[in-house]
Amino acid sequence: MSKISAATLALPGNRAPARRSLAQRVKAAWPLYLMLLPSLALMIVFRVLPLWGVSIAFVDYYPLKGLAGSPFVGFKHFEVLFNSREGFEIIRNTLVIAVGKLIAGDIAGIAFALLVFQLANPLFKRIAQVTTAIPHFMSWVIIGGIFIDLLSSRGLVNAPLQAVGLPAIPFLRDQTLFPITLILTDVWKEFGFGSVIYLAALTTILPELYEAAAVDGAGRLSRLIHITIPGIMPTIILMLCLGLGRVLDAGFEQVLTLLNPLVYATGDIIDTYVYRVGLLQGNFSIGTAVGLFKSVVSFILILLSYWLADRYAGYRIF
């Protein structure tokens, strides 16, 4: 797939533009730059200036004394993360849960999009899409409460099992099952909304290809394997690559809602740790150090994901 830059698109005939100075460009398009100013100001105030706050990670921070009054301690607070059992656990859990959600979520989204795409009745199609997308707009506090009721040992799932003499499935208290429960419940909540992009991709496949394949005797499965999947493959790769940038976002609200002491070892993630230590216990320096670690790794992963998206799906932003 060819690369198309913004500059190329901007000029008819694809001729290279004559290089102009910044002042000339601003003068030529000053209304646009003027409109950009509020956004730029907001970004500086809320995104750039707060970066100064990361220095809290390198001091023993006393809020009322400020950074200048807080002694510099170097990487002391990072040691808590890297030299403790807890640090290893939260990084591992974050990766396992986030990668699991990324892969399972994409598979579910693709599968659902393929199924919906096959539906002939447009009304049923729309009802299916809307009903499956609704959970995406609901808070995890609500969804979490529902799942706790459903999956507890006396819940709707386990009560019938126990009634017929089968053991209850410890969805929320088994250390192995808990991350799987997190992944599956997240997939349930998001697959409907996540399928939208794949449905859009499916509509770009030329119907003539299906007709030609049918004439050649291809069945549904053959058409799926040889036309549909290759047709949306760039989108799948793109979504996976972009998802890499979110690989340290394992779902704070969901984990906080469903976590319990029995599954700390496999359920506690970076975000819940930062919340607990930073916001609840008020250890701002440790919380910032762990948050900074996450941000740096995420930044590297985002760069990597954009590179991969460009390399394998021809998708470029910059």
Partner 1 sequence: MRKLFTRRKFLKGAGIAAAGAAIAGCAPQVVEREKVVEQTVVVKEKEQVVVEVTSTPSACAMDWNPTLPPAPKKYDPPVILSSPICDSDPEWLGNDNRTNNPMYNRLLDTLGVGFSVHWQATGDACAQLYNTDLAAGTLPDIRNVNSPIEIARLIDNEAAEDITDIWEATASPLTKEKKQYPNGRMWVPVTRNGRIFGMAHSNGPAWNVEQIGMVRKDILDKIGAPIPQTIDELTAVARELLKAGLAKYPIVTRSRLYTYALSLDPIWGAFGAMPEHWLLAEDGSLEYGSLRPGAKEALNVLSGWYKEGILFPEFYTITNPASTGLLASGEAVIGFGPWWMGGSITTWERDNPDWQFVVMPLPKGPDGKQGRQGTPNPQHAVMFRKGIEPVKVEAFINAINWAIERHVNWEKYEQYGEWRNSHAFAQGYEWEFDENCELKTGPVANSEGTYKYTAFWGVDFAYMSYPDYQADVFNDMQKWLSRDLRSLNKAQRYLISNPKVRREMQLYLEGYNTRSLRMNNMFDGTPTESMVKYADGLDKLEMEYRIGIVTGQKPLSAFDEFVSEWKKNGGDAITAEVNDWWQAQKR
Contact pattern for partner 1 over residues 211 through 230, marking x by CB under 8 A: --------------------
C-alpha to C-alpha distance for 222 and 216, rounded to whole angstroms: 11
Of the two residues 236 and 263, which places its CB atom closer to partner 1 in the complex?
263
**Least distance (Å) from partner 1 to the CB of residue 139?**
16
Sign, CA torsion 29/31/33/35:
negative
Residues 95, 196, 242, 262: which binds partner 1 (CB under 8 A)? 262
The least distance separating partner 1 from the CB of residue 263, rounded to whole angstroms, comes to: 8
Long-range contacts from 298-304, C-beta under 8 angstroms, 24+ separation: 298/245, 298/246, 298/247, 298/248, 298/249, 301/244, 301/245, 301/247, 301/248, 302/244, 302/245, 304/244
Q: Can you tell me which of 10, 22, 64, 163 binds partner 1, judged by CB under 8 A?
A: 64
CB of 87 to partner 1, least distance (A): 8
Identify which of residues 79 and 310 has a Cβ nearer to partner 1 in the complex: 79
Q: Which stretch binds partner 1 (CB under 8 A): 5-13, 199-207, 214-222, 257-265?
A: 257-265
Query: Rounded CA gap, 59 and 72, in Å?
Result: 4
Q: Quickly list DSSP for 224-271.
A: IIIIIHHHHHHHHHHHHHHHHTTTT---HHHHHHH--GGGHHHH--HH
Applying CB under 8 A, among 55, 125, 152, 304 the residue interacting with partner 1 is 152
List the x/- string, 263-282, binding to partner 1 by CB under 8 A.
Answer: -xx--x----x--xx-xxxx
User: Which residues from 175-194 bind partner 1, rule CB under 8 A?
Assistant: 175
Q: Is residue 46 involved in binding partner 1 (CB under 8 A)?
A: no
Residue from the set 154, 207, 208, 221 that interacts with partner 1 by CB under 8 A: 154
Q: Please, which residue, 87 or 100, has the CB nearer to partner 1?
A: 87
Please give the Cα distance from 37 to 248 (Å, whole number): 32
Radius of gyration of the chain, Cα coordinates, nearest whole angstrom = 25
Query: Whose structure tokens read 């000053």?
Result: 30
Interatomic CA distance for residues 282 and 296, integer angstroms? 22
Which of 144, 107, 145 has the alpha carbon at shortest distance from 254? 144
Q: Which stretch binds partner 1 (CB under 8 A): 24-32, 167-175, 180-188, 228-236?
A: 167-175
DSSP state of 59: B
Contact pick of 35, 41, 63, 72 for partner 1 (by CB under 8 A): 63
Handedness of CA 242, 247, 253, 259 (dihedral sign): positive
Which residues, in sequence order, are CB contacts of 105 under 8 Å at separation 6+? 186, 187, 190, 191, 194
CB closer to partner 1 out of 30 and 124? 124
Please tell me whether residue 106 binds partner 1 under the rule CB under 8 A. no
The yes or no reply on residue 252 touching partner 1 (CB under 8 A) is no
| Assigned token pair, 57 | 């990670």
Which residue from 147, 284, 306, 315 is in contact with partner 1, where contact means CB under 8 A?
284
Tokens of 316: 């470029």
Smallest gap from residue 297 Cβ to partner 1 (A): 21
Contacts with partner 1: how many residues (CB under 8 A)?
A: 34
| Chain residues that interact with partner 1, rule: CB under 8 A | 62-65, 80, 84-86, 122-123, 148, 152-154, 172-175, 260-262, 264-265, 268, 273, 276-277, 279-284, 286
